[in-house]
Every structure is written in C-alpha cells, then in structure tokens.
C-alpha cells in the first residue's frame, strides 16, 4: 500500500469530494432559503397585521396631545403637537379637522401630498404602502374634531433589508459549511483513497496478498472488509488453480511416462519374436511380457476413463445383489499377482456368516482391489496386509491395513484428489498415475458411502476404510 496515487486515483477522489461538497453546499443553501423565506413571510405577516394597531396607537397619542388645542382653538399648539411627529418616521401626513370638517392643523413630511381639505370618513384604509386612519378626537365625552393620519409601511424596504441579511448569512453559512465539510470529507475520502490505492495496486501488480487498511467503522469499513475477503478468496483460488495446474502438468508427465514404460519391454519382446534363432522358452516369455504390459496399459487407461466418467457424472452403477465373499475373492484375484510378487502376507478378518450386498459388484471389487494394490505397492517386500470387514448398526466397514510407508497425516486431504501421489519417486518406481484413490472415492460415493484414510506418520503403515451405509446390506431371509 505504498503505491503512488495514480492520475485516475486523484481524479476519482476529486469527483467524490466534489459531489460531497455539492451535496453539502446545496443542502445548506436550500435549508437557508427555506428558513429565510418562511421567516420573511412570517415577519411580513406580523408586520402587516401590526399596522392597524400601530397606527391606532399613534392616532390615540396624537389625539390625546392635540385635544386641548382643539378644545381651545389653539392652532399654534396643534401645529406644534403635529410637528412632533417629525420623529415618527412612519407617519408621513397628519391633520386635525374641526367637527364641521374644516382643516384645523396639519403636518406634511417633505415630498408627501397634503391631507384632504375636509375631514374624510372615519376608519382605516390602505392604499398600497400607505395606510390612512381617520378617527375622532374626544375629550370628556365631547367630540372636539377628527384626526387624520397617513403612515407608510415600506414593505419593499423591509424585504430588501431582509434579503440583505439573508444573503449575508447565506454567504457566511456556505463559507462555514465549505470549510467544515472540506475537513470532514477527509473522513470519507480517506478510507476510499486507501481502498482505491489497494485496488489499483492489485489490478496493476496482480498481487492478491495486498489488503486494504480498515480506517473507519462505517459502510466504507464494511466495503473494506468485503474487499479484503474477496482478495483473500481470489488469492486462495489463484493458489489452488496454480496447484491444480501443476498437478495436471505432473500428471501429464506421469501419464506419458506410464504409457511409455511398457513399450520398452514390448519392443524388446517383439524384437525377440522376430529373431529366427529364438527358443520356444524365450518365445513364451516374450508373449507373456507383451500380454502383461498390454494388460497393464489397458488397466491404466480404464482407470483414467472411469475417473473422467465419474467427474463428468457419466458413470452409472449396475446395482445387484452380490455375495460379499465372491466380491472379495474377485478383488483379491486382481491384486494377487502384485501381493505375491512382493511376498506380502495377506490376512482376512471377515464376518462369520454370509453377507449379501446391494451394490455394483464390478465397481465395488474394483475399489477394494485398488486399495489392496496400493497397500502392496507402498509396502516394502514381505509386509503384512490385513483385510477386515465389520458389520454394525451403521452399515459395513471394509478396511485394508498395511505395514508400509504410510503418509504424513497432513497430506490426507490431498490424497483423494486427482493426480496426487504421496511420493512421486516411489509412485513412479512402482508405476501408477495417482488416480487410484480418487477413483475409489468416486465409486464409493456413488454407492452412498465414504472412504477415510489413516496413518500414524511416514513409515508407520496406513489404513484405508470404506464405509457403506446400512441400506447397502440386504436383509437375510
């Protein structure tokens, strides 16, 4: 994970960061816009509903202060009182009328149109931004006149002020959001960067031993875990593929060797037969050699075909009722030449009564003879081979035990795989393709059974046991 970030890596990071930033800024702007608009509408609503109360209060105050001037006909005092409204920015025009409607005194802010000459009807009225109020001036139950007030409610000015505040706060918030999210983004893009770097390194270097570092414990952390698991899986499978490949290569070499081995004696025998001065004894020997080697090649090819049939699911069992004893006899007959040639002792431990099985006699005896042949092959001359058959509630167990070279218990799982041999050197010296146990396993599994192997270690002998289910044993009548 020390790879330099590649250009594409930088680009990818930039785009995620840019997307995040866009989301943050857009959300911020949207939230601010919504809150700003709702605040402004609320403010305007409150502002508008406050108008009547506002202007009424204003009018009441003016009425109170101007009542004496009206009561005692003091225009100067009235003007003074009205001019005090100069400080009330909202009030643009104010006027006092006598009870007969004549204008008594007025105040007009600069640039405003003057008040009506005669008192308008009482009440509140709005004309655009201007709100007008006409109400009586009363003192001691006596109506002294009417007051006219015109006020301006600058809605647009208010909106503009709000827009200014809103724009400023939006700008500030966006800036703060930008800075903050820039910092917080690293917590998201950081782990992503790590994965991206590892992914690129894996792709470019085909190094499946690399692992991404898990920085965060969130969804990205999950991705990192999954990614690492996938890498592990790929690594394991790559190794397994390599192993299978290697085994196949080895197998091909072995096969070529195995097929070529018999040719030398056959060629030698043929040459002998072609010779004119050959004795009858030699001729017989030569025939025997050819026959034996051909048979060996046929057996080899049969095994090969059978295994390939099993792996392709093309092999069907021909199940029939068969006597266990005849089955064992057939198997031993096949293995006998090798056992005898190595001067092994073969012992039997069989059930005392006859047993009838429902099985494919050919395949089952083939399996058993394979185990016997293996035992003979991997045991030094003069060994002991024991064939034991036991019937129990679970079914039947047939085991072949030898005093041979045994195997490392750790090699057990690979033992039943195709093309495997415990020790190539020995196997080659004895001949064989290393498909024997794979074939047995396939055949037994077709019978619904299992096979297990056991060895205390190299040189400690080995024992292989075939377990067949209870359904294989036919009840005796």
Partner 1 sequence: MTLCAILPAAQAADPHTEDSVKAAYLYRFAGYVDWKDKIPADAPFTIAVLGAPGVARELRHLLPGHVIDNRVVQVREITGPQDLGRPQVLYVGPGRAKSLRALLAAAGSPAVLSVTDEDGGLAAGSAVNFLRIDRRIRFEVSLAGADRAGLKISSEMLGVAVRVHGGMRPT
Decide if 468 contacts 449 (C-beta within 8 A).
yes
CB of 105 to partner 1, least distance (A): 11
CB of 69 to partner 1, least distance (A): 5
Site string for partner 1, 143-182 (x = CB under 8 A): xx--------------------------------------
Among 4, 7, 72, 425, interactor with partner 1 by CB under 8 A: 72
Half-sphere exposure of residue 136: CA atoms within 13 angstroms, side-chain side: 9
Using the minimum distance from each CB to partner 1, give the nearer residue, 12 or 98. 98
The torsion defined by the Cα of 90, 93, 98 and 104, in degrees rounded to 10, comes to 130
Whole-angstrom distance, CA of residue 209 vs CA of residue 203: 12
CB of 82 to partner 1, least distance (A): 14
Largest CA distance in the chain: 173
Site string for partner 1, 118-147 (x = CB under 8 A): ---------------------xxxxxx---
Of 31-39, 52-60, 95-103, 460-468, which part binds partner 1 (CB under 8 A)? 95-103
Using the minimum distance from each CB to partner 1, give the nearer residue, 67 or 422. 67
For residue 69, state whether it binds partner 1 (rule: CB under 8 A): yes
Of 47-55, 60-68, 174-182, 229-237, which part binds partner 1 (CB under 8 A)? 60-68
Residues 6+ apart with CB under 8 A from 103: 95, 96, 97, 115, 116, 117, 118, 119
Whole-angstrom distance, CA of residue 329 vs CA of residue 336: 10
Whole-angstrom distance, CA of residue 369 vs CA of residue 371: 5
Closest CA to 190 of 167, 173, 213: 213
Using the minimum distance from each CB to partner 1, give the nearer residue, 73 or 279. 73
299-318 binders of partner 1 (CB under 8 A)? none
Site string for partner 1, 207-236 (x = CB under 8 A): ------------------------------
Using the minimum distance from each CB to partner 1, give the nearer residue, 36 or 99. 99
For residue 100, state whether it binds partner 1 (rule: CB under 8 A): yes
Q: Got the DSSP string for 80-126?
A: HHHHGGGG-TTEEEEEEE-TTSBEEEEEE-TTPPPPPSBPPPSEEEE
Of 20-28, 97-105, 195-203, 398-406, which part binds partner 1 (CB under 8 A)? 97-105
Of 70-78, 174-182, 203-211, 340-348, which part binds partner 1 (CB under 8 A)? 70-78
Cβ atoms < 10 Å from Cβ of 338: 18
Whole-angstrom distance, CA of residue 477 vs CA of residue 473: 12
Using the minimum distance from each CB to partner 1, give the nearer residue, 143 or 236. 143
Tell me the number of residues near partner 1 by CB under 8 A. 20
Residues 6+ apart with CB under 8 A from 361: 320, 322, 326, 327, 330
For residue 259, state whether it binds partner 1 (rule: CB under 8 A): no
Residues 6+ apart with CB under 8 A from 310: 439, 442, 443, 446
Among 63, 93, 104, 193, interactor with partner 1 by CB under 8 A: 104
Tokens 């698991």 map to which residue? 229
Integer CA distances (angstroms), 198 to 204, 216, 297, in order: 10, 16, 52
Among 16, 21, 25, 71, interactor with partner 1 by CB under 8 A: 71
Using the minimum distance from each CB to partner 1, give the nearer residue, 76 or 203. 76
For residue 98, state whether it binds partner 1 (rule: CB under 8 A): yes
Cα Rg of the chain, angstroms: 54
Q: Which residues bind partner 1 (CB under 8 A)?
A: 65, 67-69, 71-74, 77, 98-100, 102, 104, 139-144
């Amino acid at each position: 994970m020390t790879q330099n970030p590649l250009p594409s890596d930088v680009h990818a990071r930039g785009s995620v960061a840019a997307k995040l930033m866009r989301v943050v800024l857009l959300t911020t702007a949207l939230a601010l816009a919504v809150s700003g608009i709702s605040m402004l509408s609320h403010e305007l609503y409150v502002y508008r509903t406050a108008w009547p109360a506002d202007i009424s209060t204003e009018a009441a105050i003016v009425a109170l202060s101007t009542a004496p001037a009206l009561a005692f006909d003091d225009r100067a005092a009235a003007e003074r009182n009205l001019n005090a409204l100069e400080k009330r920015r909202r009030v643009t025009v104010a006027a006092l009328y006598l009870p007969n409607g004549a204008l008594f005194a007025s105040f007009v802010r600069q640039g405003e149109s003057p008040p009506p000459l005669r008192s308008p009807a009482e009440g509140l009225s709005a004309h655009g931004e201007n709100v007008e109020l006409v109400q009586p001036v009363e003192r001691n139950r006596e109506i002294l006149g009417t007051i006219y007030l015109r006020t301006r409610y600058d809605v647009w000015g208010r909106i503009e002020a709000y827009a200014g505040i809103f724009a400023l706060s939006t700008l500030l918030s966006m800036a703060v959001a930008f800075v903050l999210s820039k910092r917080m983004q690293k917590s998201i893009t950081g782990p992503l960067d790590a994965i991206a770097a590892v992914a690129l390194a894996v792709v470019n270097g085909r190094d499946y031993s690399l692992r991404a570092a898990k920085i965060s414990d969130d969804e990205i952390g999950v991705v990192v875990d999954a990614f690492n698991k996938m890498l592990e899986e790929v690594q394991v499978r790559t190794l397994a593929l390599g192993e299978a490949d290697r085994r196949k290569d080895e197998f091909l070499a072995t096969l070529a060797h195995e097929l070529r081995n018999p040719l030398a004696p056959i060629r030698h025998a043929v040459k002998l037969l072609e010779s004119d001065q050959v004795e009858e004894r030699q001729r017989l020997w030569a025939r025997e050699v050819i026959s034996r080697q051909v048979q060996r090649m046929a057996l080899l090819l049969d095994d090969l075909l059978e295994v390939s049939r099993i792996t392709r699911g093309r092999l069907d069992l021909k199940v029939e009722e068969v006597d266990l004893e005849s089955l064992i006899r057939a198997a031993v007959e096949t293995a006998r030449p090798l056992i005898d040639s190595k001067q092994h002792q073969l012992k039997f431990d069989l059930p005392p009564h006859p047993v009838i099985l429902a099985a494919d006699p050919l395949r089952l005896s083939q399996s058993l003879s394979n185990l016997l042949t293996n035992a003979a092959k991997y045991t030094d001359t003069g060994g002991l081979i024991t064939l034991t058959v036991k019937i129990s509630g679970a079914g039947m167990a047939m085991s072949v035990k030898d005093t041979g070279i045994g195997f490392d218990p750790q090699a057990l799982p690979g033992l039943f795989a195709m093309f495997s041999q415990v020790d190539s050197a020995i196997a080659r010296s004895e001949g064989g393709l290393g498909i024997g146990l794979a074939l047995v396993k396939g055949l037994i599994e077709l019978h619904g059974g299992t096979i297990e192997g056991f060895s205390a270690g190299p040189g400690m002998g080995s024992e292989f046991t075939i377990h067949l289910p209870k359904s294989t044993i036919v009840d005796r009548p």
